[in-house]
Amino acid sequence: MAFFNIKDTVKALKEGTVTSAQLVKDSIDTFEKDKASAIPLNAFLEMYSDAAEKAEAADKEIAEAKAAGTLDDLYSKKPLLGVPFAVKDNISVKGQRLTCGSKILEGYVAPYNATVINRLEASGAIPLGRCNQDEFAMGSSTEYSSYGPTRNPINRDFVSGGSSGGPAAAVSANQALFGLGTETGGSVRLPASYCGIYGLKTTYGVLSRWGVVAYGSSLDQVGLLAHTPDDIAKTLSVMAGTDMYDDTSADLPDSDQLADLAAFTDEEISKLKIAIPKQFLETEGMLSDVSAVFENVKNWLSSKGAKIDVVDLPILDASIASYYVIALSEAASNLSRFDGIRYGRRVDNGQGYDELYVQTRSEGFGPEVKRRIVIGNYVLSEQFSGDTYKKGMTVRAKIQSEMAKLFESYDIVLCPTCPTPAFKLGQKVDSPLEMYLSDLFTTFVNLARITSISIPAGKTTEANGSMPVGIQFAGAMFSEVKVLKLAQAWENEHPGCGIPLK
């Protein structure tokens, strides 16, 4: 792909130095080459068969508007015209396959578009292809996909992170300009940090969940992956807002500032109050390289006069336990719909419905999903463990209220995205607990329903593989504009910090 951000790409499309068809063709060629290579990246599972056609239609619209002298007018109505993007395999694109990285949905075709897809298409963007993920978005490395792992484009011995590893790797490898992922507990920020790009988790409700396959419904959100905060802002600007098909959706108050994002000035940064949770600084197992990158971001903020305090939030120590109790309970309930009758795969030995359910689910779900369904149902069963669910909910309520209180005095919570950078393939795949701990610094955001961006802030030393390290700016509910403006100020001074934009 010839351009690395939306602004330059749109400029080139308008000037005619590139066409949308060329951008799509480049990505398809790279995909084909990658598929045939010895160690495939496996970011895309497939390219949509109609992407090239849609790109040609966009080029035609551009050419006609140019001839009529109405090009600027066209782009004010369709600001992403001709811009291709990657889609996680749990977001519905009408007429296209959708598997959630699972065998149980093999052969399933989405009957309608997710609202986020409708809105992006209305703005002229082109859905390019379906990207890999951990099965049903459960995981932190994309190794739990039934369709092979997605590797890290910076170094293919390492994982891409998860569960949105596919779209993150696609964007990082310049195979798409931006990507749609989903977050339940960190699945956009984590792969963004591992792959050296920006990843935004939006406030619960800002992006409609209509047409997005549910994992933990009280936590699930669509998230965005891109090379710059400005790109994220541009795409968010056309997608954000209430949707009659999703009762939990809500408007983003200052979304008019997204289309043309102004980075915070030094003066604006000097007025910010930043909180660093003490609990995260004291985390056992935090790699010293991550601490070094974190110090660097902290120093950047304080050198500009931001006020930085270390705050004591003991409840955060319980966030990962609360998250896994709630997420797995909701997952057990949500995944009961995959029964062999309504969606995708069916295994029927002619021995009746009970046997059909059992066989379909036994063959269709992978081991990690089964583990979670079993744990989730156990936690929900009053006889054994109903108290655990209530405890999880109580902790969540406390996290929510303490974060709300914190944001009365602070603008931003600053912390690493993950205690460690990308790890080697196979390193944690057999140790679920270790894998779950990758989410140590991300789940409080989902539980509190707030927003957070992971920024590519630096790299580990050579001894640790020179892999990208992500740092988070988390903000109060509906403060997307604030975190994006701060992230853009970082980007302006540290362009391509995660990976070089060659």
Is residue 329 flagged as an active site residue? no
Closer residue to ligand GLN (CB): 121 or 368:
368
277 three-class SS: strand
Token digits for 17?
């130095």
The span from the CA of 247 to the CA of 263, in Å, is 32
Radius of gyration of the chain (CA): 22
Q: Which of 204, 215, 338, 444 binds ligand GLN (CB under 6 A)?
A: 215
Least CB distance to ligand GLN at residue 439 (A): 5
Return the residues of window 427-446 that contact ligand GLN according to CB under 6 A: 439
Least CB distance to ligand GLN at residue 442 (A): 7
Part in contact with ligand GLN (CB under 6 A); list of ranges 135-143, 251-259, 294-302, 468-476? 135-143
Q: What distance separates the 2 farthest-apart alpha carbons in the chain?
A: 72
Part in contact with ligand GLN (CB under 6 A); list of ranges 105-113, 137-145, 376-384, 424-432? 137-145
* 3-state class percentages of the chain: helix first, strand second, coil last, to nearest 5: 45, 15, 40
Strands 178-183 and 84-88: parallel
Locate the DSSP E strands across 83-213.
Answer: 84-88, 126-131, 178-183, 198-201
Least CB distance to ligand GLN at residue 201 (A): 9
Catalytic residue among 20, 92, 146, 163: 163
Regarding 89 and contact with ligand GLN (CB under 6 A), the answer is: no
Is residue 390 flagged as an active site residue? no
Least CB distance to ligand GLN at residue 150 (A): 14
Least CB distance to ligand GLN at residue 215 (A): 6
Catalytic residue among 54, 88, 201, 304: 88
Regarding 392 and contact with ligand GLN (CB under 6 A), the answer is: no
Name 277's bridge partners.
311
Token digits for 199?
């990843």
Contact 174, 153 (CB under 8 A): no
Closer residue to ligand GLN (CB): 3 or 144:
144
Pattern 154-173, ligand GLN, x by CB under 6 A: ---------x----------
Q: Which of 113, 115, 132, 140 binds ligand GLN (CB under 6 A)?
A: 140
Least CB distance to ligand GLN at residue 327 (A): 5
Question: Omega into 466 within 30° of 0, i.e. cis?
Answer: no
Q: Which H or E run contains 408? A: helix 382-409
Is residue 123 flagged as an active site residue? no
Closer residue to ligand GLN (CB): 140 or 175:
140
Least CB distance to ligand GLN at residue 318 (A): 16
Regarding 108 and contact with ligand GLN (CB under 6 A), the answer is: no
Distances 357 to 20, 328, 380, 381 between C-alpha atoms, Å: 45, 20, 21, 20
Regarding 187 and contact with ligand GLN (CB under 6 A), the answer is: yes
Q: Which of 42, 146, 172, 184 binds ligand GLN (CB under 6 A)?
A: 184
- Sorted by sequence, the CB contacts under 8 Å of residue 371 that are 6+ apart come out as 432
| Helix residue spans in 82-215 (DSSP H) | 115-122, 165-172, 189-195
Catalytic residue among 102, 123, 187, 479: 187
Contact 451, 196 (CB under 8 A): no
Pattern 308-347, ligand GLN, x by CB under 6 A: -------------------x--------------------
Give which of 497, 496, 472 is closest to 484, Cα–Cα. 472
Give which of 286, 223, 214, 277 is closest to 437, Cα–Cα. 286
Token digits for 311?
């705050």
Token digits for 36?
């045939």
**Count of residues of this chain found to bind ligand GLN when the rule CB under 6 A is applied:** 13
Closer residue to ligand GLN (CB): 152 or 187:
187
Strands 198-201 and 221-226: antiparallel
Regarding 132 and contact with ligand GLN (CB under 6 A), the answer is: no
Can you give the binding site for ligand GLN, defined by CB under 6 A? 137-140, 163, 183-187, 215, 327, 439
Which residues participate in catalysis according to the annotation? 88, 163, 187
